[in-house]
Amino acid sequence: MGQTITEKILAANCGKKVVVAGEFIEPKVDICLSNDVTAPLAIKEFLKTGKKHVFDKNKIALVMDHFTPNKDIKSAENVKFVRDFAKKEKIKLYYEGGNVGIEHALLPERGIVVPSDVVIGADSHTCTYGALGAFSTGVGSTDVGACFATGKVWLKVPQSIKFILKGKLNKWVSGKDLILYIIGQIGVDGALYKTMEFTGEVIKKLKMSDRFTIANMAIEAGAKSGIFPVDKITLDYVSNRALRKFKVYESDKDAHYINIIERDCSTIYPQVSLPFLPSNAKAVKSMKKIYINQVVIGSCTNGRIEDLRVAASILKGKKVNNNVRTIIIPATPQVYADALKEGLMKVFIDAGAIISAPTCGPCLGGHMGVLADGEKCVSTTNRNFVGRMGNTKSELFLASPAVAAASAVKGYIADPNNI
């Protein structure tokens, strides 16, 4: 029997010809990632091992993105602790201050992750890198600490579900709408400890930004990872960025899948996930008016230049509603610079939006847009659990940049087709 792309990547990093779903393995890790929230614990666990140095100073990425710039004394102390460790160990991939971007946008942009890598990170949305044809997954800080010492991770080979997306996308439908729709169909545990492999004619035409968005939210269906085949679009993205040589794998025609799910995407319209689960997804055109207090456009899910272009195309020549704080967060310094060069920042400022430095910020209720009691927010982030963006009595609605921008103008959750 043939193997999936996931099985081939894991087998290669184990030095094996074949691995099978359900097998416990210890593959070598190509990139081990942590941030200002999770790295301190990982470092403390590493220090307990008694190892004098990390396994490879060039394969560890430490990205101070969650509370940047430091929002309080505790966050400042966390960053100082990680910075001191990075200097001691001569960690090459350390990012802080003006050099920092949201980790899952920054690493692909800098060519740090390449196809067929095995990537682990002490952040659940590490699955983003599956868009590049890598096996990437979120783990706990303890696992990252162990990896700092050994360069390996212990895991079970996941079964795979193949998603075949067919048809033609409707106007304003993006990768965010596709993944919200899929999660709405299969539920938050519909791919529990599985790899979600995305294929089909729709996937072949998707921009990398949309692929990153889809892979990023695989965890919201309970998946261990999401992954895309490497094609010309992938290689065009990677070719001028990759810091290392890489090999490309593809799934065999006779590879085994625990399930194969086909969807006609021509029936999918812009989506919104209502509180308090990403799976509570509905077509925005079917919703009643829900008035809002805040819009956030950014995050590791939708903070790339393509996302800002979509938002700007709707906001150009308009003003955001007086009742709606509208916060724009470019995912990386490069995205910020590109948006400035293209005139997008002027569009946002003229519309009355607030522009933030790259940060995770409000996504986890950290800063730069924390919600008060009873407030409602439309956000391009990836989770809308109770209290995710602040007060436990606030409400968070997940959507694409198009829906978020349209809602900012209207003052309520709005269909971008009617703006």
Clarify whether residues 222 and 299 are in a common domain.
no
Q: Whole-angstrom Cα distance, residue 138 to residue 383?
A: 15
The domain total for the chain is: 2
Clarify whether residues 216 and 346 are in a common domain.
no
Clarify whether residues 180 and 200 are in a common domain.
yes
Domain of residue 359, residue span: 272-418
CB 183 within 8 A of CB 382: no
Clarify whether residues 244 and 276 are in a common domain.
no
Q: Does the pLDDT value for residue 419 go beyond 90?
A: no
Structure tokens at 133: 């044809």
Clarify whether residues 293 and 198 are in a common domain.
no
Alpha helices in 288-364 (DSSP H): 299-302, 305-315, 333-341, 344-351
What percent of the chain clears pLDDT 70, i.e. is strictly above it?
100
Clarify whether residues 238 and 322 are in a common domain.
no
Last residue of a domain, one of 215, 238, 263: 263
Q: What pLDDT score was predicted for residue 59?
A: 98
Q: Does the pLDDT value for residue 351 go beyond 90?
A: yes
Clarify whether residues 247 and 276 are in a common domain.
no
Q: Go through 268-288 and write b for each residue having 16 or more CB atoms within 10 A of its CB, e for each that does not.
A: bbbbbbbeebbbbbbbbeeee
Clarify whether residues 349 and 321 are in a common domain.
yes
Average pLDDT of every residue of the chain: 97
Q: What pLDDT score was predicted for residue 365?
A: 92
Burial tier of 62 (Cβ tally within 10 Å: 0-12, 13-18, 19+): buried
Q: Whole-angstrom Cα distance, residue 351 to residue 407?
A: 13
Task: Return the DSSP state at 152.
Answer: B
**How confident is the model over 89-128, as pLDDT tens digits?**
999 999 999 999 999 999 999 999 999 999 999 999 999 9
How does residue 1 score in pLDDT terms, banded at 50, 70 and 90? confident
**How confident is the model over 27-50, as pLDDT tens digits?**
999 999 999 999 999 999 999 999
Clarify whether residues 362 and 327 are in a common domain.
yes
CB 333 within 8 A of CB 306: no
Q: Whole-angstrom Cα distance, residue 137 to residue 223?
A: 9
Expressed in percent and rounded to 5, the helix, strand and coil fractions of the chain are: 40, 20, 45
Clarify whether residues 20 and 70 are in a common domain.
yes
Amino acid occupying residue 273:
S
Instruction: Give the DSSP H/E element, type plus range, for residue 235.
Output: helix 232-239
Q: Whole-angstrom Cα distance, residue 178 to residue 387?
A: 25
Question: For the whole model, what pTM was predicted?
Answer: 0.96
End-to-end CA distance of the chain: 52
pLDDT (mean) for 160-179: 97
- What lies within 8 Å, CB to CB, of 354 at 6+ separation is 325, 326, 327, 328
Q: What pLDDT score was predicted for residue 309?
A: 98
**How confident is the model over 252-301, as pLDDT tens digits?**
999 999 999 999 999 999 999 999 999 999 999 999 999 999 999 999 99
How does residue 130 score in pLDDT terms, banded at 50, 70 and 90? very high
Kindly list the distances between the CA atom of residue 67 and the CA atoms of 227, 239, 362, in Å, as whole numbers in the listed order: 29, 32, 9
- What lies within 8 Å, CB to CB, of 194 at 6+ separation is 158, 159, 160, 161, 222, 223, 224, 258
Q: Does the pLDDT value for residue 222 go beyond 90?
A: yes
Q: What pLDDT score was predicted for residue 68?
A: 84
Last residue of a domain, one of 209, 238, 263: 263
pLDDT (mean) for 53-82: 96
Clarify whether residues 255 and 339 are in a common domain.
no
Q: What is the CATH number of the domain that holds 374?
A: 3.30.499.10
Q: Does the pLDDT value for residue 24 go beyond 90?
A: yes
**How confident is the model over 183-203, as pLDDT tens digits?**
999 999 999 999 999 999 999
Q: Go through 129-144 and write b for each residue having 16 or more CB atoms within 10 A of its CB, e for each that does not.
A: bbbbbbbbbbbebebb
Q: What pLDDT score was predicted for residue 359?
A: 96
Clarify whether residues 120 and 201 are in a common domain.
yes
pLDDT (mean) for 58-62: 98
Last residue of a domain, one of 200, 235, 263: 263
Q: What pLDDT score was predicted for residue 312?
A: 98
